[in-house]
Amino acid sequence: MGPLFGPGRRTIAVDAPIDVPPFEDLRFPSPVHAVLELRGADRGIRVEGTIAATAVGECRRCLAEVELPIHLEIDERVAPGEETDPLAESNVLAGERLDLGDLVRQLTLTTLPMSLLCSEECRGLCPECGRNRNTGACRCRAAGEDDNG
C-alpha cells in the first residue's frame, strides 16, 4: 500500500470478491463483491465505492430461509490503529498495511438487521403444533385465536 502514502500518491482500484465468514445466524453463500478506490488522505486512507452481497439466514418468526440482498455505497476514511489492539476503533489499517478483507467484513456487518423476517406480514409458527402459518391454517386452537384458525 506504499503508493497511497507520501509523495506521488495515487489511487488504487480494487474490484474483487471477498469472503465474509458467517456472523451470528447469518451466512454469506458467495463472496462479497467490492468495487473500491483507495487513496491516501491525511494520515489514513479514503475508501470509496460499492459493496454488494447476499446474506442468508432464518426468519425469526417462521424459520424459513431468507435471502437479504445488500448494496452499500462506501465513503469512509480509515485511520491507522494500533497493531496490538484488535478492538481498536480502526484496526484495519496498521502502519501502511490495510486489511481490506476485514474492512469489507466490518462495513457489511454494520448494515445487517438485528433479525430477519421473510415479510412484515409473516404469521410465524403455531405455538402448539409448529406448523408454518404462512402456508395454511392448522387445526390447533392457539391462545388468542378464534375457532376459524
**Domain boundaries in the chain?**
2-109, 120-149
Residue 142 — very low, low, confident or very high, per pLDDT cuts 50/70/90?
low
* Predicted local distance difference test score (pLDDT) of residue 113: 84
Phi, psi (degrees; rounded to nearest 5) at 104: -65, -40
* Predicted local distance difference test score (pLDDT) of residue 17: 95
Comparing 45 with 75, which gets the higher pLDDT? 75
Question: Residue 40 corresponds to which amino acid?
Answer: G
Q: Residue 123: which residues within 8 A CB-CB, separation 6 or more?
A: 61, 62, 133, 134
Mean pLDDT of the 74-95 span: 66
Beta strands in 79-128 (DSSP E): 93-94, 97-98
* Predicted local distance difference test score (pLDDT) of residue 61: 94
Verdict on whether the full-model pTM lies above 0.85: no
